[in-house]
Amino acid sequence: MSHPFLSDAAVGFLPSPVRDVWELSMQPGMVSLAGGNPDLRLNDLGWMEEAAARAIAERGPEVLQYGAGTGLAGLHEAIVEVMAAEGVHAAPESIQVTAGSQLALDLLTKLLFARGDTVLAEAPTYVGALGVFGGAGVVVEHVGMDDDGLRPDALREQIDRLAALGRRPRALYTVPNFHNPTGISLAAERRPEIVEICRQAGIPIIEDNPYGQLAFGEHRVPSLHSFDPELVIYLGSFSKIMAPGLRVGWASAPAWLRRPLQLASESAVICPSVLSQELARAFVARGGWRETVAGAAAEYGRRAEALQSTLLPLLPAGAALTAPRGGFFSWLTLPEGWSSAGLLDDAVDQRVVFVPGASFYADGSGERQFRLAYSLEAPERLEEGALRLGRALDAYAGT
Ligand code: PMP
């Protein structure tokens, strides 16, 4: 949309395709495989009412006041504890609290890129990152993945190809654990290699890890951050393990980035919501959070299994479904020549929705792929959703 009063940049912001499908998923009787929302019924929120009331009663003038630009005192240590639970080690002073990791992405985009600069990202990638990059006029160049995640050979090739055109990417953006939208995790042995390739090419890495705590079973892999904390900017979030409405996330930043990131955050929001930060701090401080998160992750695992086991036998020859071991998503590739956007019409007729794959690419590919989110519906509803999807596949094949 353009208007004489709007800037050139205004046209770069596009509506989120996930939100469009979300509207459909709100229709009565629809099984939604669309939104990547945590199921807050699994997250033990009962204590929060009391914690919020207590925080206001006992420390109202602090938690309802403007707060420190880098985040609430005590929350940095709590975040370090959350990271350590995944084996990621960071110093409290490296942590910048942000209003969701989405804001961290937005701030990093401002700090690392000029309009027309290039970012590398997995093919496909997080739709919200595409939105931020698009809004800032940053060009996304995709790097191929396979079942073990981002391919080091494809990364090398893409960097060389761009170098031949005189273009040096300003960063690699990656979601190494239980990737959104595919559910795939980057194999442990690829991790040092990817950091090394970027180090040699002088390309910082944005490691976006909102799902790493949500492993269905054992998931011990080193973070990219652990191989070079001066090259890798690590993003985490309370959204999937606690509550996204609080809008509390963080960046663990290399020393060279800390001050600019703090100033950019202060300029954008002055400080993140102090009351929300107090609740995030209390979530960690009260103990038991690991068990709560593990319990939720086990339930997400049951949901993934319910969807997979019902859907797999219904797939046409030539289709492929990823088998996630954590997080919220699996990714379906349809046979050659099929269209996921076309299938969505049949799916809506059958009262089930998903997000078509083209939304997750900057280059218009993904036509025969789509994302299935299993995080929000109970296992029986997911089985029903899979059966409906099976009928939609039959209907599509018959037309
Ligand atoms: N990165 C990824 C990969 C995500 O999936 C999401 C949420 N869907 C975010 C970042 C943003 O999360 P937050 O709520 O912390 O802003």
Tens of pLDDT, residue by residue over 222-251, are 999 999 999 999 999 999 999 999 999 999
The pLDDT value recorded for residue 11 is: 84
Yes or no: say if 158 and 197 are a contact pair by the CB < 8 Å rule: no
Going by alpha carbons, the residue nearest to atom 5 of ligand 1 is: 180
Distance 164 CA to ligand 1 centre (A): 33
CB atoms within 10 A of CB 251: 28
- What's the chain's Rg over C-alpha atoms? 21
Yes or no: say if 129 and 108 are a contact pair by the CB < 8 Å rule: no
Q: What is the DSSP letter of 326?
A: B
User: Residue 256: is it exposed, middle or buried by C-beta count within 10 angstroms (0-12/13-18/19+)?
Assistant: exposed
**Distances from the Cα of 213 to the Cα of 94, 95, 281, 290, 294, angstroms:** 20, 18, 17, 9, 8
Distance 102 CA to ligand 1 centre (A): 6
Yes or no: say if 264 and 109 are a contact pair by the CB < 8 Å rule: no
CA–CA separation, 230 vs 225, rounded Å? 8
CA–CA separation, 99 vs 390, rounded Å? 40
Please indicate whether residue 180, judged by its CB atom, sits closer than 6 Å to ligand 1.
yes
CA–CA separation, 241 vs 213, rounded Å? 7
The ligand 1 atom nearest the CA atom of 238: 15
Q: What is the ipTM of this complex?
A: 0.99
CA–CA separation, 105 vs 397, rounded Å? 40
Mean pLDDT of 180-189: 98
The pLDDT value recorded for residue 328 is: 98
The ligand 1 atom nearest the CA atom of 126: 3
The ligand 1 atom nearest the CA atom of 99: 16
Distance 128 CA to ligand 1 centre (A): 7
Question: What pTM does this model have?
Answer: 0.97
In the numeric block, which tokens belong to residue 316? 């046409």
Mean pLDDT of 74-79: 98
Distance 314 CA to ligand 1 centre (A): 31
The pLDDT value recorded for residue 18 is: 77
**Is pLDDT at 1 greater than 70 in this prediction?**
no
Yes or no: say if 39 and 376 are a contact pair by the CB < 8 Å rule: yes
The pLDDT value recorded for residue 224 is: 98
Give strand pairing partners of 356. Answer: 370
Nearest CA to 373 among 356, 350, 387? 356
Please indicate whether residue 249, judged by its CB atom, sits closer than 6 Å to ligand 1.
yes
Distance 318 CA to ligand 1 centre (A): 31
Q: What is the DSSP letter of 65?
A: S
User: Residue 245: is it exposed, middle or buried by C-beta count within 10 angstroms (0-12/13-18/19+)?
Assistant: exposed
Q: State what percent of residues in the chain have pLDDT above 90.
A: 91
